[in-house]
Amino acid sequence: MGASEPIRANAQARIESIATASYRIPTDAPESDGTIEWSSTTLVTAHIDAAGVRGFGYTYASRAAALVIADTLAPLLRERDALDIAARWLDMVRAVRNIGRPGVASMAIAAVDAALWDLKAKLLQKPLVTLLGASRDAIPVYGSGGFTSYSIERLGEQLGRWAAEGMRFVKMKVGRAPAEDAGRVRSARAAIGDCRLFVDANGAYSRHQALAEARAFADDGVDWFEEPVSSDDLEGLRHVRERAPAGMAIAAGEYGHDAGYFHRMLEADAVDVLQADATRCGGFTGFMEAAALCAAHGVPLSSHCAPSLHLPAMCAARAAVHLEYFHDHVRIESMLFDGFRPPRGGLMTPDRTRPGLGVELKTRDAERYRC
């Protein structure tokens, strides 16, 4: 569906229908990080029709998020004005009060909110980055994978390829077998040359372990340590941040589901860089709240996963520094999204010739993964 001309001033766009689906896509190999293992990723989609136009949004979540969309959010939003996104977002947040906003409900809201922003931009015949208000033309990416389940050979191949493609940063997982971490980091460093190296423990270490590992990693030029301890341990994050080697940034925030979470993390001086995930924190509406908090606190912002979704938001957010180019989600989006744009020279650039988010689900290709 598409509009032949922008929607008229003072017009409304009544929501006619909201459809949702979930797709489980197997990984290309067994994967693990410091705390969990997985063999598939679930994509939950939302499509919203209004005024002859269809908006598309998505999240990476349990298929339970699709049930929340279908049972709780869709009945609430039908016949409401799609253009008033802030009002619709508040409607959804209020509707999930009794089932619990953090977690699955927030991810369901995220998919619908993203679809509303995509829809509005299409109705106005503008790329979403323009509607949000661009701060830059492109955003640096960092290649993210290096799973603890990988052999040393695959670790080096993946990270080395990204470095050779022009990425200035790459990230690997640590924490599954702490005794092996320093050696794996040395191997990664040998494979990537002068490229900057990030590590992510996914909260696997204790405070003392994290500091010991940070000192070892620093010898190989690691300057980003993500979730050295659990992101629920704000005191622990601050403890590590204050004692980490000079020049090593402590990052966390990907599990935030609302502005209050990000506010508490920033007020605690727990991180040098805040991570936020629009697929978890309520879509673009919630993500731009996190971006505003970063700007107010003078803390850089990095996005977590879902590269196609975060591209316009990260080009709009003033505090943004780089976008995570996560292996699993890159595979899915390159396979199943029409309009997917890989980085060039380490940068992702929005397609300003396409209105809205810039990507569409290839429904026929996705059907075999439907669950």
SS (H, E, C) 175-217: CCCHHHHHHHHHHHHHHHCCCEEEEECCCCCCHHHHHHHHHHH
Task: Please say if 304 is a catalytic residue.
Answer: yes
Q: 178 φ, ψ to 5°?
A: -55, -35
Q: What b/e readout covers 322-340, taking b as 16+ CB neighbours within 10 angstroms?
A: bbbbbbbbbebbeebbeeb
Residues 6+ apart with CB under 8 A from 86: 285
Classified as helix, coil or strand, 295 is helix
If we measure between CA atoms, which residue out of 61, 29, 30 comes closest to residue 43?
61
Maximum CA extent, the chain: 63
Q: 240 φ, ψ to 5°?
A: -70, -45
Q: Which of 173, 310, 327, 329 is catalytic?
A: 173
Q: How far apart are CA 293 and CA 274, in angstroms?
A: 10
Task: Please say if 257 is a catalytic residue.
Answer: no
Q: How far apart are CA 282 and CA 289, in angstroms?
A: 10
Residue 316 burial class via C-beta count within 10 angstroms: exposed 0-12, middle 13-18, buried 19 and up: buried
Residues 6+ apart with CB under 8 A from 200: 33, 34, 144, 171, 172, 173, 174, 226, 227
In contact, 1 and 52? CB cutoff 8 Å: yes
Residue 61 burial class via C-beta count within 10 angstroms: exposed 0-12, middle 13-18, buried 19 and up: buried
Residues 6+ apart with CB under 8 A from 9: none
Q: Which of 171, 239, 257, 304 is catalytic?
A: 304
Tell me the catalytic residues.
Answer: 173, 304
